Chain A
Amino acid sequence: MKRIQPIMSFLMVLTGSLSWGLAGTEEEIIRLQNDVLQVQNQIRLLQKSVDDTTAILKSLLEQLNDQMATSNIQMASVGEILQAQSITQEIALDQVRQEVQSLSIKWDDTNTRIAALQLKLQENQLQVQSLRNVPSAGSTIHPDQVYSSVYNDYLMGNYDLAIAGFQDFLTNYSDSEYSDNASYYLGVCYNEKGYYEQATRAFDQVINLYPNADKTPTAYYKKAFALRQLQLDVEAVETLTKLVTIFPDSQEALLARQELQLLGIEVP
């Protein structure tokens, strides 16, 4: 969950940087630059922690080598003592055993620590990797998270990002429970950008594929708006009339009636 967030933000930055050329406003560029800065910061931080961990590992290995060397020397001296003295000195032997034991405990301890450090190192490397590699769309990310991140772009007024995001969402999760909402908000974003023909198509998708979804009445209403912008008044009136007939109790039908009345058209 936590790890997905940096991935997501990086994914968004990449998608964003692709859509620059299309129609990036200056604000978006600044926002994206900020995001890039933040990601770079994160990478730097991670790199630093990786470096630190490696340094600690190195010093530990050195310590270990030193310990090995000293124990070798001790072993050698033990051998000498054994050779020089008779085997009746069992007390000395016990001492040696104890020393060997404590050495092996130390050895185990060091091993555990090295293993733990290796794990941490791997984790860090994974994180760095995941930040560097763009995960392929449709991997382990849950559709809810993708949808809400794109919806956030819509809420923040980043309509270009949102359009690209909703399109990707519809391609990757065509049968998600948010597909109707994604089509609907794709249309809304097109309306915001003034791409009214695309908007009409997106709203048609809601109307045709999800005739009883909670966004369907408002899709009719927004489609009529797009048609009016395209000067297709006849089609607009047709859409509003359909809305009033199919969803007579909806809030949008109320708005549609008001508009039709303003146009002097008899409402069923």
Chain B
Amino acid sequence: MKEENRGRLTKEAKKKKDTRMTGKILVLCFICLPSLLKAQTPDVVIYPRPREDTKLAVADFVARTSDTSEVRAALRIFDRVLWDDLEFSAFFEMPSKSFYPLKPLRSPTDVRFDNWKIPTLDVDFLIFGNLQVDSGLAVVEAYLYDVRTREQVLGKRYNISDEALIQRVAHEFADQVVFQLSAGTSRGVARAQIAYSSLKGQGKEIYVMDYDGANQRTITANGGLNKFPEWSSDNSKLAFITHLPRSNRWELWIQDLDGGRRVVPLPSSYVASPAFSPDGKQMAFSTREVNGTDAGIYISNLDGGRLKNLSNHSAIDSSPTWSPTGRQIAFISDRSGSPQLWVMDTDGSNVQQLVREGGHCDSPNWSPDGRFITYSWQPRGQWNHQIYVIEVATERIFQLTSGLGSSENPHWSPDGRHIAFQSSRTGSKQIFVMNADGKNLKQITAYGSNDSPAWAGYPVTEPQE
């Protein structure tokens, strides 16, 4: 009921030209919004909706031959990572391991399927396997069985040259399982990394980590301020802005993860929020003409050529994000008075205001399927930002976070089922991940101050068959 109400209001707001009238409607929207958002939250239909209706059991992996301490350590890591990955995927209901039959499962012949159909378990699918470490080389055999039909769905054998890669194998198998059991809805996000900006002394450096916070490593070490990393669609490059010590300008850097690096020449000392176009040939960012007064949305080639001002407006236009088709750009503009969410075509035409609730919006990020944009919003009169999602076609808004601290810079996972963001709820800025419906919140960094997470796209190599 209320939802329809709001729909009518925004439609009216769209049509009315009289600003005073629009003002009234804005106030109305503003008042009814908080209760509305709460009312909607329980049955939010975020697509692809986390289903959690497939029951999955993940039996502890077993040492294949010798049960040394080395093998046990590797098994502990593998079991934990695989469980966490599958649980995080939000596709499965995973009954507690305490209900599992006690008999270890080394190979398919060990499985008594009836034991997995008892009422307390009653799982649809079962994962098990074995592991062996031999002088630094590790071999993992992993199986996925359909308990109902008793057929094998997946059987994988991984040879790893370095047992330190055991986490990677767990991530890879988890992604395979998700790909199989989601009927291709998701290719899994366990291998997709997160880039972010981390405070180091006086400066901020760009870092990259696994989605679960493991394996943090530095990309820059220049002692300056490095901010707003964003991945190219093939994950080979990171773009970010850099302010080197003693310099008087911000620079747009493109860092090849293989080592090369390039500074994109731009006219003025201000640039922010770079974003690669989906085809990887262009970038959008916020910058300013050398004698201009305000930031605008610009696009250019990766070498800075064919620089074009898209927004042409005497207002701050910042924080561009491409739609997955590369045909539209969502951005933040304060042309209506305060920073709000706007959308335009990449030829600069068809500019529309998408969020008109007032307050401060920032950091929009377009979902990989094109339907949603996540952004941070600080309602008028409050000093905290929270994470929201708007469905572009219907302009329905969903609140995903609440509570203490400010939550900012949301970024979709490649399957559009999760969102990474930064929050100061623990006192310092740290990076969190959650499902796209706001559930299953997980903190993944804990030390120092970390912000601006950017989730990489799917790994370019297809899951191996």
Give the interface of A toward B (CB within 8 A): 5, 30, 34, 37-38, 41, 144, 147-149, 151-152, 155-157, 177, 192, 214-215, 217-218, 221-222, 225, 251-252, 254-255
Identify which of B15, B184, B313, B370 contacts A155 (C-beta below 8 A). B370
In whole angstroms, how far apart are the Cα atoms of A41 and B45 in the complex? 19
Within the complex, which residue of B324, B349, B351, B393 is in contact with A149, where a contact is CB–CB below 8 Å? B393
In chain B, positions 349-363 with a C-beta closer than 8 Å to chain A are 349-352
* Mask of B1-38 contacts with A, CB within 8 angstroms, 1/0: 00000010001001100000000000000000000000
Q: In the complex, how many angstroms separate the beta carbon of B250 from the nearest chain A beta carbon? A: 27
Q: What 0/1 pattern do residues 336 to 347 of B give for CB contact below 8 A with A?
A: 000000000101
Q: Determine whether the beta carbon of B183 is less than 8 Å from that of A254.
A: no
Q: Could you tell me the distance in whole angstroms from the C-beta of B70 to the nearest C-beta in chain A?
A: 43
Give the complex CA separation of A30 and B187 in angstroms.
Answer: 14
CB <8 Å contact, B325 and A155? yes
Residues of B at the A interface (CB closer than 8 Å) are 7, 11, 14-15, 45, 183-185, 312-313, 323-325, 327-328, 345, 347-352, 369-371, 391-394
User: Which of B14, B184, B349, B371 meets A156, CB within 8 Å?
Assistant: B371
Residues of B near A255 (CB, < 8 A) are 312, 347-349
Q: Which residue of A lies closest to B352 (CB)?
A: A214
> What CA separation (Å) do A149 and B350 show in the bound complex?
20
Select one of A148, A177, A215, A222 contacting B393, CB under 8 A: A148
Q: Are A157 and B347 in contact (CB under 8 A)?
A: no
A5 to B394, CA, bound (A): 14
Contact, CB under 8 Å: B350 / A215 = yes
Q: Across the interface, do B394 and A148 meet the contact criterion of CB distance under 8 Å?
A: yes
Q: Report the bound CA distance from A38 to B370 in whole Å.
A: 20
CB distance from B3 to the nearest CB of A (A): 9
Q: Which residues of A contact B11 (CB under 8 A)?
A: 177
Is the Cβ of B393 less than 8 Å from the Cβ of A34?
no
Q: How far is the CB of B75 from chain A (nearest CB, A)?
A: 35
Nearest-CB residue, chain B, relative to A150: B393
Residue contact B327 to A34, C-beta cutoff 8 Å: no
Cβ contact within 8 Å between A214 and B14: yes
- Is the Cβ of A156 less than 8 Å from the Cβ of B325? yes
How far, in whole Å, are A217 and B345 apart by their CA atoms in the complex? 13
Chain B residues in 8 Å Cβ range of A156: 324-325, 369-371
Sample of 19 more A-B contacts, CB < 8 Å, known A147-B393, A156-B370, A252-B350: A30-B184, A41-B183, A144-B7, A148-B391, A148-B393, A148-B394, A151-B392, A151-B393, A155-B371, A156-B325, A156-B369, A157-B327, A157-B370, A177-B11, A214-B14, A221-B349, A251-B348, A255-B312, A255-B349
Residues of A within 8 A of B325 (CB): 155-157
In the complex, residue of chain B having the shortest beta-carbon distance to the beta carbon of A151: B393
A252–B183 Cα distance when bound, in Å, is 44
B179 to chain A, nearest CB (A): 12
Q: List chain B residues, Cβ under 8 A from A217.
A: 349
Q: How far is the CA of A54 from the CA of B325 in the complex (A)?
A: 48
Q: A144-B7, A151-B393, A157-B324 are in contact. Are A218 and B349 (CB under 8 A)?
A: yes
Shortest Cβ gap from B186 to chain A (Å): 11
Q: Which of B323, B324, B393 has the most CB of A within 10 A?
A: B393
Asked whether A34 and B394 contact (CB < 8 A) given A155-B370, A251-B348, the answer is no
Q: Tell me if A155 and B350 are in contact (CB < 8 A).
A: no
Q: Which of these, A38, A177, A222, contacts B183 with CB under 8 Å?
A: A38
Determine the chain B residues whose CB is within 8 A of the CB of A144 once the complex forms. Answer: 7, 394
Expressed in whole angstroms, the Cα–Cα distance for A155 and B354 within the complex equals 14
Q: Nearest chain A CB to B39's CB is how many angstroms away?
A: 14
Chain A residues within 8 Å of B349, by CB: 217-218, 221-222, 251-252, 255
> Of all chain A residues, which has the CB nearest B183?
A37
CA distance A222 to B346 in the complex (A): 12
Residue of B nearest to A184 (CB): B350
In the docked arrangement, what's the CA distance between A147 and B347, Å? 24
What chain B residues lie within 8 Å of A215 (beta carbons)? 350
**From residue B374, how far is it (CB to closest CB) to chain A in Å?**
15
Cα distance A178–B230 in the bound complex, in angstroms: 36
CB distance from B225 to the nearest CB of A (A): 33
Measured between beta carbons, the chain A residues less than 8 angstroms from B393 are: 147-149, 151-152, 155
> In the complex, A152 Cα to B395 Cα: how many Å?
12
Contacts of A30 in B (CB 8 A): 184
- Chain A residue nearest to B369 (CB atoms) is A156
A212 CB to closest chain B CB (Å) equals 9
B185 touches A34 (CB 8 A): yes
| Chain B proximity of A14: nearest CB distance (Å) | 19
